[in-house]
Structure 1
Amino acid sequence: MTSHVTTHVLDAATGTPAEHVVVSLAKHLDGGGTTGVAQGFTDTDGRLALGPETLDPGMYALTFGTGAWFADRGIPSLYPLVTVTFTVEPESGHLHVPLLLSPFAYSTYRGS
């Protein structure tokens, strides 16, 4: 079974956790579209656990409110939202999807 999804957002420009970034988790539907699963804000360490304890197999997306986060700090940025789409397999195990963020770039990977 796959457990909930976790994320960790780091401000790569300052090397610090990105606190209070809004993150939403959605499941892609077979016929198109998405349905919301969960939403929350990163904590003081830039971390957040989202969703139910187990996720059904399928395609999901994490959307990060990066533009608002930078705007709150008076920093112009290029990407108002960053969406990371990923697949949950039947035995995926824990899924950790970190985001490294700067005003004009971002990267992600499958974490542990």
Structure 2
Amino acid sequence: DELVPGRYRLTFDTATYFECTNQDGFFPQVNLVFLVRVGEKYHLPLLLSPFAFSSYRGS
């Protein structure tokens, strides 16, 4: 299924992840806001550590 073009937000519940892995995390939630355009594919990796996160548009 294709996404309708527009602005989207992915919310990651990182607090639950950190609790399940017995880690103290600084960011209890990570929000990624991005634009969807017609005919494009999206892969949004989230790189996460207890005190940092990073994301990019993958291939």
State the TM-score, normalized to the length of structure 2.
Answer: 0.92
The residue type equivalent to 1:55 in the other structure is L
Q: Secondary structure at the residue paired with 1:55?
A: coil
The separation in 1 between residues aligned to 2:27 and 2:34, in whole angstroms, is 19
Indicate the RMSD between aligned Cα atoms, in angstroms.
0.8
Aligned to 1:100: 47
Moved over 4 A (4+): none
The one-character-per-residue Cα deviations of 1:62-85 (angstroms, maximum 9, x if unpaired) are: 111111101111110011110100
**Do structure 1's residue 74 and structure 2's residue 22 form an aligned pair?**
yes
Aligned identity (percent) is 46
Aligned to 1:38: none
Structure richer in helix, relative to its length: 2
The separation in 2 between residues aligned to 1:88 and 1:73, in whole angstroms, is 33
Structure richer in strand, relative to its length: 1
Show structure 1 runs of 5+ residues with no match.
Answer: 1-52
Aligned length: 59
Show structure 2 runs of 5+ residues with no match.
Answer: none
The one-character-per-residue Cα deviations of 1:42-73 (angstroms, maximum 9, x if unpaired) are: xxxxxxxxxxx111110001111111101111
The separation in 2 between residues aligned to 1:78 and 1:101, in whole angstroms, is 11
State the TM-score, normalized to the length of structure 1.
Answer: 0.51
